[in-house]
Structure 1
């Protein structure tokens, strides 16, 4: 399982290449994949000095994959009709699910702090939660400003609010719920005990 991060990276790169072919909007795709590329690059470089647990890499992969798919279709247009009907939603819920996976990054943040002995387990979990909440709020502000600058249909496609005036707040709530869920898993699997 030592090669597991390399396997996930290969799967991500394949997905990234396929989803880069004829996206719904090239300008939206570029804007959406910038954070994906940055996170993937940082994780790749960082893996030379610190190896997260396989749990962390798996959780981080979920967001990379969801965001890459959302960038291709635009989040409001991801073919997710079956799930929308299953949960009885009036809008495409893919965006909310992708935001939930943002919260998964609380797990590797907490793991890093505990394994490097920068914080105890409880404080590391609190910091992981607050880290996700801060990133979620910052992203919503950046998203808003990008939409104001770019304007037009691309702004609407990038925001993906689908007419919901509370979209930003609900997105941040989903990020936070994902963080809480991943931290529950963090305390359950205790990655500081090994590389599981």
Structure 2
């Protein structure tokens, strides 16, 4: 008898592994002669802590492929910002000069990602670990969680400013904007809302694939008390077997 086993499929094993190695490579490059070592570490500490945590829980709680890709992209944004500091990222300088902006916009982009990616992460955790799956409260609570995380991050920046004084200016990346904190949280709000509007359907399909067990038949010995499988009379195999028996009887009669 064949045993049946439930298997929860996740993303292809090669995808998370490739993303993890890619993040490690970018982390090494980011840590090579950064603009300010004291600014670099607080910016990339989320990657240093988060990547091992995801690796350790990959079998017990595999994430969707969409979330894996988004987390890797967010990690790259953090590491690039940590290497150059957010106010001096070259691509941000190019955008500022090309569009005549008053400041390097990479910091704003980073806070958009701070809402865009955690929205999918929060949504996945709520769908898989709470009764909110299919609830109308799922989207509002996801946005609220992202705003709460953004507020906590701003308080961490405030604590760094109090502790470090002018030495924390590169970490804050306010660039002289008195409303920088409010803009950061607003960008996180826009990012979280856009993420839910753009990715919810794709995310739902991948969540079904991850959370629905796939029944796999495992080969095993047939029990003696299990009745043999009957073959219908009109089955091709039955007809072939019948012809073989008739042919055998005819040969016996000729002998």
Same fold (TM over 0.5): yes
1:111 to 97, 111, 124: 124
Structure 2 residue ranges without an equivalent (≥5): 1-11, 211-255
For 1:120-135, list aligned pairs within 5 A. Answer: 120-121=133-134, 122-135=136-149
Q: 1:29 to 1:64 in 2, by over 3 A?
A: same
2:189 matches 1:180 = no
How far does residue 36 in structure 1 lie from its aligned partner after superposition?
2.5
> What's the CA shift string for 1:147-175, capped at 9, x where partnerless?
110122x3110100000111111111111
2:114 matches 1:99 = no
Structure 1 residue ranges without an equivalent (≥5): none
8 Å CA contact 1:106, 1:183 repeated in 2: yes
Give the match's secondary structure for 1:194: helix
8 Å CA contact 1:33, 1:71 repeated in 2: yes
> What's the CA shift string for 1:114-134, capped at 9, x where partnerless?
234531233332222111110
- Distance (Å, rounded) in 2 between the aligned partners of 1:136 and 1:117: 22
2:100 matches 1:88 = yes
2:27 matches 1:12 = no
Task: Name the residue aligned to 2:173.
Answer: 160
Q: What TM-score do the two structures reach when normalised by structure 1? A: 0.91
- Count of matched residue positions in the alignment of Structure 1 and Structure 2: 194
- Judge which range, 25-34 or 92-101, deviates more: 25-34
> What's the CA shift string for 1:69-91, capped at 9, x where partnerless?
10111110110222223443210
8 Å CA contact 1:111, 1:124 repeated in 2: no
- Distance (Å, rounded) in 2 between the aligned partners of 1:102 and 1:40: 17
- The structure with the larger Rg is 2
Q: Which has the higher contact order (CA 8 A, sep 6+)?
A: 2
Q: What TM-score do the two structures reach when normalised by structure 2? A: 0.71
- Distance (Å, rounded) in 1 between the aligned partners of 2:71 and 2:39: 22
Task: Name the residue aligned to 1:21.
Answer: 32
8 Å CA contact 1:147, 1:159 repeated in 2: yes
- Distance (Å, rounded) in 2 between the aligned partners of 1:158 and 1:9: 26
